[in-house]
Structure 1
C-alpha cells in the first residue's frame, strides 16, 4: 500500500490554483479541502472574524483523512512560510508524503482580468478586488523548498495547465 499524499497548493487569488486543485482531486480521487469554504463556513456559523482558525481546523481534517490512508488536496493561498511549514508538519506527523504546488499567473494583465471577472463558488464569500490581491502578503517560495512543483498558468488554457501539472507531478514522483 502506498502512503497517502498531501498536495499543498499555494498561490494568489485568481492564479488558477482552485481550478487545478479540483482537477487533481478528480483525477486522484483525493479528498478536497478548500480553506475558503472552511473559513466562510466559520464566518457564517459563528459570526466572528476568521484569522488562522480556518487553517488550523483544516489541518485536523487533513490529518484525519491522511491517517485513514486518503490523499488530500489542500487548496489555499498558503501565503507565508509558517502555514507552509504547518501543512508539511501535518504530513510528516503521519509519515505521509507531501508535495508543494505553487500556482501563479505571471501575466499581470491576464491575472487582473481573472480576478475581476471571476464569480465566487463559495456561498457568501466576498472575493478580493485586484488591489487586494496586489496588496496581499505573499512570501516568495525559497528556491531550496522541498518537494516543490511550480506551475505558471499565464497564456494557457485550463486543459493545458492541468496537463502540465499532471506531467510535472508524474516526473516529480519518479
Structure 2
C-alpha cells in the first residue's frame, strides 16, 4: 500500500508519518530529505523543483514492488503531484490512500511554524508568511483529512489508524 501524506508546513505531517511508519512497519519517504540530499550533493539548490518528487516516485515504486508499505510525505501542494503518486501506486499494482494533514487553528499553526526546529541539517524552513503565500491547490477527490489542531500526535495517529481501517466511514 502507498499512503501519501500531504499538507502545508507545520501541520504535523512528519510527526504523523513517523508515528505511522513505526506503528505499521512501513517505509517513510520524506521529500524534504531527498531534496536536501540533492542540495548537499551540489546537483541542486533551493528551491529544488520537481527533482525531489521524481526521485520519491521512483523510490516509492521500487519499495512497493518489493511488497513494502510506503508512506510518502511531502507538502504535495499540486494536483499534478497528487496524480503522480496515484500513478506510482497504479504502476506498482498497489492501493493508494491519500491523507491531507491540516491544522485548523491558525494561531496554533503559526506557533508551530515559527517555533519548530530543523531536523534535517541546513534545510531552510519557511516562515509564516511563506506558508500563507504557498501555492496549495485544493484536493479534488476523496481523501482522508486529519486535523491535528488541539490534540497530541498520538491522538492524531489513532484517528488516522481508524480512518485507514474504515476508509469510507466516519
User: TM-score band, normalised by the shorter chain?
Assistant: over 0.9
Residue 13 of structure 1: aligned partner: 9
- Unaligned stretches of 5+ in structure 2? none
- Measure how far apart 1:160 and its partner are: 1.2
Aligned residues between the structures: 167
Q: Report the secondary structure of 1:172's partner residue.
A: coil
Residue 151 of structure 2: aligned partner: 156
- Write the distance in 2 (CA, Å) between the matches of 1:132 and 1:52: 19
Q: Report the secondary structure of 2:139's partner residue.
A: coil
For the aligned residues, what is the CA RMSD? 1.2
The equivalences for 1:2-41 within 5 A come to 5-41=1-37
The equivalences for 1:64-103 within 5 A come to 64-103=62-101
- Write the distance in 2 (CA, Å) between the matches of 1:43 and 1:32: 20
Q: Which runs of 4+ in 1 moved over 4 A?
A: none
TM-score (norm 2): 0.95
Residues 173, 98 of structure 1: alpha-carbon distance in 2 compared, 3 angstrom cutoff: farther
- Measure how far apart 1:99 and its partner are: 0.2
- Write the distance in 2 (CA, Å) between the matches of 1:159 and 1:31: 19
- Measure how far apart 1:129 and its partner are: 0.3
